[in-house]
C-alpha cells in the first residue's frame, strides 16, 4: 500500500495551524471524504460531524462542513459529543459516515479528524488511502442545486445517554453508590454525569466545565491524581476518569488505587467467565501488562495481542470471533454493547460486575499482579526508522538477554505524536527503570545522529 501522508493509527492529528490541521487542508479533507463516502447513486447522503470541547473545534467544524457541502453531501452537526457517541449515532441515523473532531487525550493546542463508517467502525486502511488519493485531485464544487445542506441533529445527547443506559442490566441499579466522575473538561462533560445519576448513583462531577482551553489539563484519564484526590476527599465508593473524547476510561477504587485498562479488562472478562457468557477470549496489545496475560491463563481464558491501537484490537477480535478487548490506556471494547471503544459503557460493565458480586471494587482486581512497567517517550524532530539503527538493535538485544523470560521490551513509533515509545516490563522495578532509561538514551542518540 502507498505510504499515507496524513492518516496515522487514529485518523489525522497535529497542532492546530500546522499541516495537516489547517483550514485549507481540512476543507479539502471534507471534500475528499464527501466524494469517497458521501454522495452515491445520485443521492447526496449525509455525514455526521461531532467534536470535543477544544476552541479549535469551531474552526475545523466549519471547514469540514464547507468541504462536504462542496462535494454535495448533507451534514448533521452534533456539537460536543464523545467519540463513541458519534459512532453510535452514525449507525442509528443511517448516515454514510461520522466525523470526529478531537485529539483525544492531547492538550488543547492539538486537534484531529477521524472517521467512522456507516456501521460505526473505524475506516479500513484502504478507504483512508482512497481519501488521501482524492485530496490530490482538484477541488471541484458540485452544481449550486446539488450543494449539501447542514442542520443540527436534534437531541443527540439525549439519544446517546439512553443508549449508554441500555447497556447496563435493567435488573440492577447504582443506587447507594457515591461515584466521582472526572469528565476531563471534554466531550463527555454533560453526558457522563447524567448517565450515572439516571441509573441511581450519587454523582460528584469534576472537570466538567470546559472553556475551550482546559480539556485534559491536570484532569481526566491521563492525570489520575485529580480523581484519586476527589475520591478520598468525598469518601466515594469509586471514581472514573474519561479522556477528552470519552473513548477511554480509568477507574479508582475506594482505597484510591488506580485501575488502568488492564485491570478493567480483567474484571470484565472474569465476571463474564464466571457467568458463562464470555465469548472466546480477551484481546490486548503489545503494551498489555504480562500480569494480565498470566492471570487470564491461570483461569484458562485465551489471550492474544494486537498492534497498539484500538482499530487493531478490533480487527483481532473480529478475526477470533471474540467480544472483549482493549488497551492499558483505557480503550475497552465490548462488542456486544458497542461497535467501538467507549469509556462510559466500559465503566458500566465494571460497575455491573461489582454490583453482581456484592463486593467492593478493591476486591474485584485481587488476583491480578501487575508487573512493573516503564514507558519513556523519546521526542524527536522528525520520523526515525528504528529498524535501521544498529545501536538500538544492540541495546534491545542486551536488555532482552538480561530480562530473559521474566520481562519484555517494546519500542514503537507513536501514531499520534512525534515520539518513539520505549517500554520495558519485568519483575524487578529497579532493573526495569534502569533498562528503560538506557534504551531511551540510546534511541535519542541514534535519532540525533540520523537527523
Cα–Cα nearest to 113, from 28, 220, 35: 28
DSSP H or E segment with residue 169:
none
Q: Is 98 exposed, middle or buried (0-12, 13-18, 19+ CB in 10 A)?
A: buried
Multiple choice CATH, 169-364, 3.40.120.10, 3.40.47.10, 3.40.1010.10, 3.40.50.11540? 3.40.120.10
- Alpha-carbon span 205 to 265, nearest angstrom: 24
Angle at 258 (CA atoms; ends 435, 405), nearest 5 degrees: 35
Angle at 21 (CA atoms; ends 17, 26), nearest 5 degrees: 120
Q: What is the pLDDT of residues 171-224, one digit of tens each?
A: 999 999 999 999 999 999 999 999 999 999 999 999 999 999 999 999 999 999
| CA-only gyration radius of the chain, Å | 22
Q: What is the pLDDT of residues 337-363, one digit of tens each?
A: 999 999 999 999 999 999 999 999 999
Alpha helix stretches (DSSP H) within 138-289: 156-166, 191-198, 224-234, 261-275
Mention the CATH class of domain 373-450: alpha beta
Alpha helix stretches (DSSP H) within 242-385: 261-275, 290-298, 310-320, 343-357, 361-364
Rounded mean pLDDT, 236-245? 98
Q: Is beta strand 46-51 parallel, antiparallel or unpaired with respect to 97-101?
A: parallel
- Alpha-carbon span 93 to 95, nearest angstrom: 5
- Alpha-carbon span 409 to 397, nearest angstrom: 9
Of 98-102, 260-264, 369-373, which gets the smallest average pLDDT?
369-373
Rounded mean pLDDT, 299-309? 94
- Residue 331 — φ and ψ, nearest 5°? -75, 115
Complete DSSP assignment for 181-203:
EE-TTSTTTTHHHHHHHHTT-EE
Residue 124 — very low, low, confident or very high, per pLDDT cuts 50/70/90?
confident
- Alpha-carbon span 209 to 17, nearest angstrom: 25
Residue 382 — very low, low, confident or very high, per pLDDT cuts 50/70/90?
low
Judge whether 170 counts as a catalytic residue: no
2 pLDDT higher than 60: no
Rounded mean pLDDT, 236-250? 98
Mention the CATH class of domain 12-155: alpha beta
Residue 381 — very low, low, confident or very high, per pLDDT cuts 50/70/90?
low
| Strand ranges of the sheet holding 46-51, from the earlier edge strand across to the other edge | 12-15, 110-116, 97-101, 46-51, 74-80, 150-152
Residue 89 half-sphere exposure toward CB, CA atoms < 13 A? 30
pLDDT at 6: 85
Angle at 64 (CA atoms; ends 58, 53), nearest 5 degrees: 30
pLDDT at 27: 98
Q: Is 395 exposed, middle or buried (0-12, 13-18, 19+ CB in 10 A)?
A: buried
Please count the helices (runs of H) and the strands (runs of E) in the chain: 14, 18
Rounded mean pLDDT, 15-25? 96
155 pLDDT higher than 80: yes
Residue found by looking up cell 473524547 in the block: 245
Cα–Cα nearest to 386, from 434, 450, 308: 450
Residue 44 — very low, low, confident or very high, per pLDDT cuts 50/70/90?
confident
Q: What is the mean pLDDT of the chain?
A: 94
Rounded mean pLDDT, 72-90? 97
446-450 long-range contacts, Cβ below 8 Å, gap at least 24?
A: 446/384, 446/389, 446/391, 446/392, 447/378, 447/380, 447/384, 447/420, 450/384, 450/389
Q: Give how far the C-alpha of residue 16 lies from the chain's centroid of Cα atoms, to the nearest Å.
A: 20
Domain locations along the chain: 12-155, 169-364, 373-450
Cα–Cα nearest to 320, from 278, 366, 376: 278
Catalytic pick from 56, 66, 104, 221? 104
Same topology between domain 12-155 and domain 373-450: no
Rounded mean pLDDT, 393-408? 92
pLDDT at 1: 41
Residue 353 half-sphere exposure toward CB, CA atoms < 13 A? 26
pLDDT at 43: 75
Q: Which cell goes with 344?
A: 462510559
445 pLDDT higher than 60: yes
Of 161-165, 208-212, 344-348, 413-417, which gets the smallest average pLDDT?
413-417
pLDDT at 156: 96
Tell me if 217 sits within 8 A of 109, measured CB to CB: no
Amino acid at each position: 500500500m502507498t505510504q499515507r501522508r496524513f492518516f496515522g493509527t487514529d485518523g489525522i492529528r497535529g497542532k492546530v495551524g500546522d499541516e495537516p490541521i489547517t483550514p485549507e487542508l481540512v476543507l479539502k479533507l471534507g471534500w475528499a471524504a464527501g466524494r469517497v463516502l458521501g454522495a452515491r447513486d445520485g443521492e447526496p447522503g449525509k455525514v455526521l460531524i461531532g467534536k470535543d470541547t477544544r476552541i479549535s473545534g469551531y474552526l475545523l467544524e466549519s471547514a469540514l462542513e464547507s468541504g462536504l457541502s462542496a462535494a454535495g453531501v448533507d451534514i448533521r452537526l452534533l456539537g460536543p459529543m464523545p467519540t463513541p457517541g458519534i459512532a453510535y449515532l452514525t449507525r442509528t441515523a443511517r448516515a454514510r459516515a461520522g466525523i470526529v473532531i478531537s485529539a483525544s487525550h492531547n492538550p488543547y493546542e492539538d486537534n484531529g479528524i477521524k472517521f467512522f463508517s456507516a456501521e460505526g467502525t473505524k475506516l479500513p486502511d484502504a478507504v483512508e488511502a482512497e481519501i488521501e488519493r482524492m485530496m490530490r485531485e482538484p477541488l471541484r464544487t458540485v452544481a449550486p442545486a446539488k450543494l449539501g445542506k447542514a442542520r443540527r441533529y436534534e437531541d443527540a445527547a439525549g439519544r446517546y445517554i439512553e443508549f449508554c443506559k441500555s447497556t447496563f442490566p435493567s435488573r440492577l441499579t447504582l443506587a447507594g453508590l457515591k461515584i466521582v466522575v472526572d469528565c476531563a473538561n471534554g466531550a463527555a462533560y454533560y453526558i457522563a454525569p447524567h448517565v450515572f445519576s439516571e441509573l441511581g448513583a450519587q454523582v460528584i462531577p469534576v472537570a466538567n466545565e470546559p472553556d475551550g482551553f482546559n480539556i485534559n489539563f491536570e484532569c481526566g484519564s491521563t492525570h489520575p491524581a485529580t480523581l484519586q484526590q476527589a475520591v478520598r476527599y468525598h469518601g466515594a465508593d469509586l471514581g472514573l476518569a474519561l479522556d477528552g473524547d470519552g473513548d477511554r476510561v480509568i477507574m479508582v477504587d475506594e482505597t484510591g488505587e488506580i485501575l488502568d485498562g488492564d485491570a478493567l479488562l480483567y474484571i470484565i472478562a472474569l465476571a463474564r467467565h464466571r457467568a458463562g457468557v464470555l465469548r472466546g477470549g480477551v484481546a490486548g496489545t503489545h503494551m498489555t501488562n504480562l500480569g494480565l496475560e498470566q492471570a487470564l491463563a491461570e483461569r484458562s481464558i485465551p489471550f492474544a495481542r494486537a498492534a497498539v491501537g484500538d482499530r487493531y484490537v478490533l480487527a483481532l477480535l473480529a478475526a477470533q470471533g471474540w467480544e472483549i478487548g482493549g488497551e492499558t490506556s483505557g480503550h475497552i471494547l465490548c462488542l456486544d454493547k458497542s461497535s467501538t471503544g467507549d469509556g462510559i459503557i466500559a465503566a458500566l460493565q465494571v460497575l455491573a460486575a461489582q454490583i453482581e458480586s456484592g463486593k467492593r471494587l478493591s476486591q474485584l482486581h485481587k488476583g491480578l499482579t501487575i508487573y512493573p512497567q516503564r514507558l519513556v517517550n523519546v521526542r524527536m524532530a522528525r520520523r526515525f526508522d528504528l529498524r535501521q539503527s544498529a545501536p538500538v538493535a544492540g541495546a534491545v538485544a542486551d536488555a532482552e538477554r538480561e530480562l530473559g523470560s521474566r520481562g519484555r521490551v517494546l519500542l514503537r513509533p507513536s501514531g499520534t505524536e512525534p515520539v518513539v515509545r520505549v517500554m520495558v516490563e519485568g519483575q524487578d522495578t529497579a532493573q526495569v527503570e534502569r533498562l528503560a532509561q538506557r534504551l531511551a538514551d540510546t534511541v535519542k542518540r541514534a535519532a540525533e545522529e540520523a537527523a
